[in-house]
Structure formats: C-alpha cells, structure tokens
Structure 1
C-alpha cells in the first residue's frame, strides 16, 4: 500500500516504515518528480501506455482505443523513419526536451489542472485519462523498482475542489479520470483523501493534546483549507467524520502565481503596456491568453491562425513593433510554457534572493528582464486576497478559531506568502510543515489506517 500525491506541480509516493512514513526515491528523479510529460507526438501517448499496461488490461484497452492506436502506430513509423525519439519522457527530462524544441512534440505540465475543466469533449476526457495513466504507470514502475515488489493499494490526494466551474460535477469528472487511470495501470484498491486533511494527519502525529488545527495547503494548482479537531484520541479512530469541522478550496495555487508573475513581470517587455500609433492602449487579451497555460480555451485561441494574423496587424499598428514581435515569436514557436517557466524559476529564486534577472535571449537577442520580490508581491495581490477569503471561510464554517495554523504546499515557501500569513494570524501560532512532503506523508498514514 502507498500514499500517492499526484500533485499539480510534483508527484510523490510514500510507504510506512514502522510508525513513520517514508517518501520513496523515484529513480533519477529523487523523491519528487515534476508533473510533466513530453511526447514526440500527442498521437503516440496511447501507444506508449498500451505497451506498459498490465497484460490483464491490454486487451480491453486495445479494443477501446483501436482508432487512436492505429493513428499512433502510423506516427511512430514516421518518427522512426525520420530518426526521431519515440518514447515519452517525464519530470525534468520532459521539460528539457520541450525547451530544446518548443515547437516540436507535445508537452503538458500539471494535467491535474485540467481534469475538472468545464466543457471537455469525450475525446478530450480520453486524452487526459491517457496522460494521467501514463504518468501513473511511470511512477508505479519506479515505485515497484524501488521496493522490489508490486503495489496494488493506494490513497491518492485530492483538492477540496478541482479546477472547474461546475462545482461537484467538475469534482466527479476529475475523480473519475483519476480512478480510471489508476485502475488501468494496476491499482486494485483506490481511495481518495482531501490533501489538507492528509497534511493534517501528518501534523497530528506530533500532538499530545486535543487541538483545533487550521490546515492551509497552498499547492501548485489549488489552495485548500480544512479546520480539523486533532490529537492522540482522534488519531486512534478510523472514522474521522466528526473531526473534520470545515473545508474550503479554490483554484488558486502556484501555477496562478507563476502566470500572474509572467503577465505582470515579463509581458511588459513584450509590449503589453505600450501604445498603438492611434494613441490607444495596447489590447491585453493576447498577453493573458499567452500565459494562461492552465486554460485550454485561452491557449487554443492564442495559438490559432486567426490570432497569428491579429498579432501581425498589431505589430503594424504598434508604436514599438519590436516588442510586439516578441509576442508573435511566442505564438509561432509555442513558447507559453517557456515564459511561465521563467516566471516560476524566478519566483523560486526570490525565496533566497531579493532580485532575479531572467534571460530570454532565445526569444529576442539580448533580452533580459529584471524581477524582484516587491514586484512579485504587487503582481499577486488578487491571489493573496483570495487565499485570505478561503481561510476566513473555513473558520466561519467551523464556527471556532484555530489553536494553531499548519501551513504546507510548495508555494508557501515564498517569503511573501510567509509575511502574508503572519499578518492574517498575528495572535495564533503558525507551524510550517514539510512544504512538499506533508501531504504525501499524511496520505501514507491514512493508507495504513484504511488498508490494514
């Protein structure tokens, strides 16, 4: 049995060793593998997956995906004739392959962000199920290699609300995709647990008395808050329903901070705040679409032929056409992830530094952008207000104040976030957990509880 944090930014797997959870090393990726996938063509994902499925699943899968498998086989033959790689890559290697040739292949980051999306067509749901299953298959193989045995039972973390507009319908869509993918790659027993609750279970192991804990999990895709009644007495129970006092969650996470930082910190160097020759302000819609990597509709519109023509007209109408040509380069060479990745890496660097220079000379010769902590704080005011509202909502629902605030999630590492949380809870102790490991550890503890 394992705890499986299939995260928006990273994935991790835990097992119990005695009374303590251990996060497993996943081959060369270390304990955390970035939630990314790169394929030489989108059409070959289904073929890679079929090849790596358990034998018991392959026949059914071949029948269900017959047309896609045939199309993928034809693409594989072309790739082989052209001397191109035919395998999928995951984690950091996936990002490296994308950055080498952004306009070739198929790259996806944080597919979890799309699972609850509204308006997905059946073929899109199938594609996401295949992508998730491929990533899960890779992680399952790495886990079994590390353990030297098969694993068939898992608890997978889930946000309070996935990133969709249809509430519980979006949640059920996402859970169905995750469940189907997990069962397909060989997990026989699949359960889910709220990510903030799982993080709370890990913190609970250190408590010696009954405590009201507000867990704030600021992850890559969502921010989730849970007010929990925790302590030694509660930890001994399998039924924790009465201890879960409230939940709140929304699609506000590290990806949103990165996107906002890219828009407000980097896009001015691509002409966003400039003027047209007519004296009017530059239209900003294409800039937002360019960085909205977690929105299928925006990305489709940005990369459409119609938008390419629109950008070329903007260049002719712009007072500073060279800056607009940079945005056209992003559009023509499919560099959205490149720009947002630059913002993300700068956000990470600003954890330890006050300023950071971004090299974007691959987009325009000599282009660099200077970013700093103050600019990050100003760019993310809306996201911070939304997180404050979520925490307040959880407290209101629970009808009590927390004795302690337990904070986890990679985004919470930012000094800007730390300062913000201290301002919100000036008279309540704040405990910072393992930013990346608390959820995995808690999922692992819960797996032992329910499967033992």
Structure 2
C-alpha cells in the first residue's frame, strides 16, 4: 500500500488515497498528528527498542552494528531494575508526558528532524539519529497499519501492509552544509524507513507537496509561490500549476525555483523564550561591578535545536559558570532560576511554554504564561508586540527566501525564453536580478497560523492575492497524491 508520510519537525502524519480524496490516518487516539518527540529512560535503551521492532531479516546485521549499545542496554535495565518487557522508550504524546514527569532523569528529543542535516556530527551521533528516526517510523507504521485494519481502509482486511511511501523533505535541511547536509539527512531517513519495514521510499520537497494539494482545486493555470513555514524549516517554491500540469508524471519542468532554510516555528519559540522569559532569569540584569550580564548562558538555555549549545549548557563547566554569575549578580535570585534550568534540564519545558504563548497570541494581544515549574507563582506576561519584535530577524530571513525563490524562477524562465510576460523587472534582490511575479501566494505550515507571520508574508507583495491552505494537512495530502501517481505505475 502507498502512503504520503510527513515526518515533520513539529508533527508527523500519514495519508492514504480514498478514491479521489486524501484521508489522514489517526496516529494518536484523538488526532491525525503525532508530536515529533521521543523520550527514553536512558539513551542506550533506544537501540534495544529499535532491534525489537526490526523486520526479522535485518536483525542480525543491526545487532552486529549496535552490539555495544545493545550490551549497555542490558546493563541499564539491570541498573534501573526494569524487567525486559517494561516499556522504556516513548514516542509522541507519551514522550511528552514522560518528559514532563521526569525531565532530569531521561533522554528527551524534540524535533529530531531539525538535527538530521547538522554539520560536524560524529559517526556515533549519526547512528543515534538513525535509531531515533527508525524507532519513530516503526511506531508510526505499526499505528497506521492498525488503523487500516481497524477501519478496513485498505480493503485488504488483516493483510493491510504499508510498503511504499513518499516522504516530505525541506529544500535545505540545514542553513549551512549545503548538499552534503541534505545527503546526510536523506540517508538517515532512507535507512530508517527501510529498518522500519518500508519496501521503497522516495522524497518530495515539502512546499511542492503543499502546492500539489492546492493545485487539485485549480480550474485555471497559474504560477504559484508556495511558502511553507513549518516547525523546523521554511521552504519556498515557484511552481506552474493547474489543469495543464497536474496530470504530468514528471513535474520537473514546472518547478521554476526553490529556496529553503532551517527557520521555523522552533526558532520563533526559542526567540520568544529568549526575549520574554530570560529577563526573569537574569538576562539584561547587571553584575555587581555594573557590567551587563553575559548572554551566552541564557541563549544556550533555550537553544533546544542547536546540538552544540545544548551540549555546552549541560556540562559541569556551564553549571560552574552560572554559579559564578549568581555570586557576581546584583539580583542573584534571578540567576538561581537559570541554575535550576541547568541542573534539572528544563530547557524544553521553557521553550514549550513559549510555544504556548505563540499560539495564544494568535487570538489575543496579551497572554500570561505560568512558569511555576521553575519557582512558585512565577509568571511571565507576553504581548503580541513583544512577540513580533522577537521574531523580526527570523521573518526577515523568510522574506529573503521568498525573494530568492522568485529570482531563481525568473532566471529559469529567462533561460527558457519565456520571461516576457512573467517577470517583474523591479530590481528587488541583492544581485539586482529580476523576480518572477506569481499569480498567487499559497501559504501553509503550522507556524504560518500566527497573524504576525501571515501579515509579514502578505505585506511583501500586497498586490498579489494570498491563499491560506490547511496549515497542517496540505503537505501530507500532496505527498499522498504523489505517492499514488509515482508508485501506482509500478
């Protein structure tokens, strides 16, 4: 059976075709979306959980490659007094619940996709991310197949098996690293999918997938700028869409320009946590000598999508640094809060609260966020104006990506001799290249729900109509349609 598989930075989703319509499968009891999170009582237990879920033909090779981790997992179970059948690794909502219950005791990863293209990963780190993604994909595949059987959606009864998947990917997994980062990330995803039991997988740019879902509604041909602002990345694509294009099996000629960078909802949450919460932890306060408090420790405390920052923040030297700052601070009680974040590994909880503030500010000018897990009665007031100021640097990058995709599209059209009526000759981009003028801007991605983000995107080209898609489901729907088109002919 063929599926579209959105292995997202914030959430994961799986879709199947039901006639001409896409249906998302319920990956949790109440939702088609599974949070992209994993929690393990100990890091070494992840390999053990992967091994248990592997297809039988892959077990021997995996056991050889992960012999050390599997051996340590047995020792960890003994040390933690865990019986062999006790669940020790959790995915999705279960992972979030386990982390909130035991934040300082286990290993928690939010948005692992954000790390897959990271530069400088050591082989053991790549292996760890292979295992994390594999375990999540195993969980999702088993859950999706159980839904197929339960609802008899596959029309195969108990024999329902998902074999092929189109997996969404950002234009660029990492802002730096280029194609090497993209190859590394795709390699991790491909290996994980095979270990999870998929027979064959292929990839499709996420903004293109989102655009394909929109294209299914078009009755006229249009040039569309798709802006997909997701949890971990922002991707832009300029695509020729409509009745003359959507039946093509090969759409490469219709894709005029792409751009993408690791800027997404996670970055906005981090920026908000830094600006709204960290002043309550000492950011911007003074030391006893009158000098401003150094900011690096505060940034490391909230930079949950930066491996090096999180590694540095968790070290003993970081704890000693904060201890020294407490002694030198004019307001030591504030720095003691930062020390608690470091000691109890509460960074993810802080950023999670920033995400809640971001969501609340979609419908309100102000919100009050409870931080009593740090200190009794501690609250932080957050305004929409503060949020907009905090995320302005990120939104400036989103604007640059839109210009970049349109400039690339203009060059593509010019090279094809088709630019006469399709190019806006205002010199907007940095290199004075003309930009392709789209007929419509299609905005999707969970992060784009924010009025501040929508207003920024709509204000860049005020004379071009903006269509808002399904913020969460459009990518999965497009991936599903492409899976049917690509794999059905085999």
Deviations 1:387-433, CA, capped at 9 Å, x for gaps: 01100111111112100000000000001112112211211110000
Q: In structure 2, what is the Cα distance between the partners aligned to 1:68 and 1:382?
A: 41
Task: Evaluate the alpha carbon distance shift between residue 82 and residue 308 of structure 1 in structure 2; reply closer, same or farther with a 3 A threshold.
Answer: farther
Matched, 1:442 2:448: no
Unaligned runs of 5+ in 2: 150-159, 411-435
Q: Which residue of 2 aligns with 1:198?
A: 209
Q: Which residue of 1 aligns with 2:79?
A: 78
Q: Which residue of 2 aligns with 1:57?
A: 58
Q: Is the 8 A contact 1:40 1:85 kept in 2?
A: no
Q: In structure 1, what is the Cα distance between the partners aligned to 2:30 and 2:196?
A: 20
Q: Which residue of 2 aligns with 1:433?
A: 469
Deviations 1:167-205, CA, capped at 9 Å, x for gaps: 000000000000000011111111000000000110100
Q: CA deviation at 1:279?
A: 0.6
Matched, 1:121 2:132: no
Q: In structure 2, what is the Cα distance between the partners aligned to 1:101 and 1:74?
A: 21
Q: In structure 2, what is the Cα distance between the partners aligned to 1:177 and 1:81?
A: 30
Q: In structure 1, what is the Cα distance between the partners aligned to 2:289 and 2:351?
A: 31
Classify the secondary structure of the residue corresponding to 1:89.
Answer: strand
Q: Is the 8 A contact 1:156 1:192 kept in 2?
A: yes
Matched, 1:406 2:413: no
Q: Which residue of 2 aligns with 1:25?
A: 26
Q: Which residue of 1 aligns with 2:429?
A: none
Matched, 1:307 2:318: yes
Map residues 11-410 of structure 1 onto 2, 5 A cutoff. 11-28=12-29, 30-80=31-81, 86-148=87-149, 149-163=160-174, 165-399=176-410, 400-410=436-446
Q: Is the 8 A contact 1:117 1:164 kept in 2?
A: no
Bigger mean CA deviation after superposition, 25-34 or 363-372: 25-34
Q: CA deviation at 1:80?
A: 2.9
Q: In structure 1, what is the Cα distance between the partners aligned to 2:209 and 2:395?
A: 23
Q: In structure 2, what is the Cα distance between the partners aligned to 1:275 and 1:315?
A: 11
Q: In structure 1, what is the Cα distance between the partners aligned to 2:213 and 2:336?
A: 50
Q: In structure 2, what is the Cα distance between the partners aligned to 1:85 and 1:414?
A: 41
Structure 1 residue runs of 4 or more that deviate by more than 4 Å after TM superposition: 81-85
Q: Is the 8 A contact 1:275 1:318 kept in 2?
A: yes
Matched, 1:420 2:456: yes
Q: CA deviation at 1:86?
A: 3.7
Q: CA deviation at 1:77?
A: 2.3
Q: CA deviation at 1:81?
A: 5.1
Q: CA deviation at 1:79?
A: 2.3
Q: Is the 8 A contact 1:276 1:319 kept in 2?
A: yes
Q: Is the 8 A contact 1:116 1:174 kept in 2?
A: yes
Task: Evaluate the alpha carbon distance shift between residue 82 and residue 206 of structure 1 in structure 2; reply closer, same or farther with a 3 A threshold.
Answer: closer
Bigger mean CA deviation after superposition, 433-442 or 413-422: 413-422
Q: In structure 1, what is the Cα distance between the partners aligned to 2:68 and 2:471?
A: 43
Q: CA deviation at 1:26?
A: 1.4
Q: CA deviation at 1:164?
A: 5.1
Q: Is the 8 A contact 1:218 1:412 kept in 2?
A: yes
Classify the secondary structure of the residue corresponding to 1:75.
Answer: helix
Deviations 1:230-275, CA, capped at 9 Å, x for gaps: 1112111101110000000011100000000000111011010100
TM-score by length of 1: 0.98
Task: Evaluate the alpha carbon distance shift between residue 84 and residue 252 of structure 1 in structure 2; reply closer, same or farther with a 3 A threshold.
Answer: same
Unaligned runs of 5+ in 1: none
Q: In structure 1, what is the Cα distance between the partners aligned to 2:85 and 2:213?
A: 45
TM-score by length of 2: 0.91
Q: Is the 8 A contact 1:27 1:146 kept in 2?
A: no
Bigger mean CA deviation after superposition, 23-32 or 436-445: 23-32
Bigger mean CA deviation after superposition, 432-441 or 388-397: 388-397
Bigger mean CA deviation after superposition, 429-438 or 94-103: 94-103
Deviations 1:369-401, CA, capped at 9 Å, x for gaps: 001111100111101111011001111111121
